[in-house]
Amino acid sequence: MVAIDQVLEWCQQHKKDHEEVFSHSVLNERFGGCGSVLSISSDDIVDTGEPFECIAGYRAKDAVEMLKAFYRQENPNAPKSKVRKKDNRK
């Protein structure tokens, strides 16, 4: 959902048609949207647009590498960890 919002914002800033941009976009099969949880591409869900073909495994290695690179980075905007130490008092 965040990526969709970012694409919409980018389209608005660059005066691009979001339908044209999304028609050239590729979704990965992971994370529940392409069959494991629901099928955005083919389920009868309100306001998701026309059905489209979802091809499993397309550029899978590239997608995995992108995710690995993402998780190796630190997010400077992330809140500080609130890990609590165990209280040894009884």
For the residues 75-89, what does the mean pLDDT come to? 67
pLDDT, tens digit, 9 for 90 and up, residues 13-64: 999 999 998 888 876 755 666 766 777 777 676 676 777 777 778 888 998 8
Cα(88)–Cα(20) distance, rounded to whole angstroms?
60
Q: Report the candidate in 61, 62, 43, 60 with the shortest Cα–Cα distance to residue 51.
A: 43
- Kindly tell me the sign of the dihedral angle through the C-alpha atoms of 37, 40, 43, 47: positive
Burial of 61 (0-12, 13-18, 19+ CB in 10 A): exposed
What residues form DSSP beta bridges with 79? none
Cα(7)–Cα(54) distance, rounded to whole angstroms?
19
